């Protein structure tokens, strides 16, 4: 029970990596509060988290909604120990796209803004809302979802890469700012992970990802959840400001 009675907030906790993390943390004794925009999946996941857990319908882009969620969780449990900023979306597209010398398209401003809003501003919103409760409580752990593409770049993902690279930077800043309050801040950079997001990709693309991974397989959501568990636990009590790659050894490139 490495997280016994630790009150943990997990954004995007209804499915994928968020769900796997919520379930693992609950197994390790945490009191888990998840939020998501998928109401049915959220309540379904809640069934696996125990009677002391909760699900809230929250858009991490909406600062007032995030603040209300943090306050409600604190009111119920009396403290907040861990925040996992997991929520994220994809809206891939090339910066500009040409074929045979003719312009045929580009990443839309709406798609750029949407990804930055959820994957970057959402992390900012949740951390800024939760940090004061941790400070008053004497400390805590904040874990941010980055990505290997935020470190290496990736074709067709200007918006996603920008957000995930910025998360790495924010993680370093917050580790410095919040360390004096005994709050550790780290990020996890997953590689290619089998989730609902990747499930819709063509089999040829998935096989390509697998062949480019030295360990010869795609990651599973539980692989990332295990990394979050370690960083949230007292075993990582002297680790702060780092970005941990969990990627099977892959180096993303052209």
Q: Which residues are catalytic?
A: 160
Backbone torsion region of residue 127, taken as left when φ is above 0, otherwise alpha when ψ lies between -120 and 50, otherwise beta: alpha
191 burial (CB, 10 Å; 0-12 / 13-18 / 19+) is: buried
Taken as a whole, the chain contains a residue count of: 254
> d(Cα 119, Cα 228) in Å, to the nearest integer?
18
Nearest residue to 161 (alpha-carbon basis) of 169, 171, 151 = 151
DSSP for 78-145, please give it.
Answer: S---EEEE-------B-SEEEETTEEEEE--HHHHHHHHIIIIIHHHHHHHHHHHHHHHHT-EEEEEE
> d(Cα 33, Cα 44) in Å, to the nearest integer?
13
Write phi, then psi, for 53 (nearest 5 degrees).
-95, 170
């Amino acid at each position: 029970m490495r997280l016994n009675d630790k009150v943990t907030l997990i954004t995007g906790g209804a499915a994928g990596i968020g769900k796997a993390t919520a379930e693992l943390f609950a197994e390790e004794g945490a009191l888990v509060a998840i939020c998501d925009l998928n109401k049915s999946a959220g309540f379904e996941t809640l069934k696996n988290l125990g009677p002391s857990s909760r699900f809230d319908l929250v858009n991490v882009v909406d600062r007032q909604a995030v603040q209300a969620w943090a306050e409600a969780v604190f009111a119920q449990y009396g403290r907040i120990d861990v925040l996992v900023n997991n929520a994220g979306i994809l809206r891939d597209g090339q910066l500009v796209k040409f074929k045979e010398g003719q312009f045929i398209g580009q990443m839309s401003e709406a798609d750029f803004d949407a990804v930055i809003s959820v994957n970057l501003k959402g992390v900012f919103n949740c951390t800024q809302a939760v940090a004061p409760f941790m400070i008053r409580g004497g400390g805590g752990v904040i874990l941010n979802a980055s990505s290997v593409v935020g470190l290496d770049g990736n074709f067709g993902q200007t918006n996603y890469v920008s957000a995930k690279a910025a998360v790495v930077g924010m993680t370093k800043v917050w580790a410095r700012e919040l360390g004096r309050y005994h709050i550790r801040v780290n990020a996890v950079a997953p590689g290619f992970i089998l989730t609902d997001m990747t499930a819709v990709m063509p089999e040829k693309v998935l096989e390509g990802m697998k062949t480019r991974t030295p360990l010869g397989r795609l990651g599973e959501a539980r692989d990332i959840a295990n990394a979050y568990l370690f960083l949230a636990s007292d075993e990582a009590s002297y680790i702060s400001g780092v970005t941990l790659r969990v990627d099977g050894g892959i180096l993303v490139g052209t």
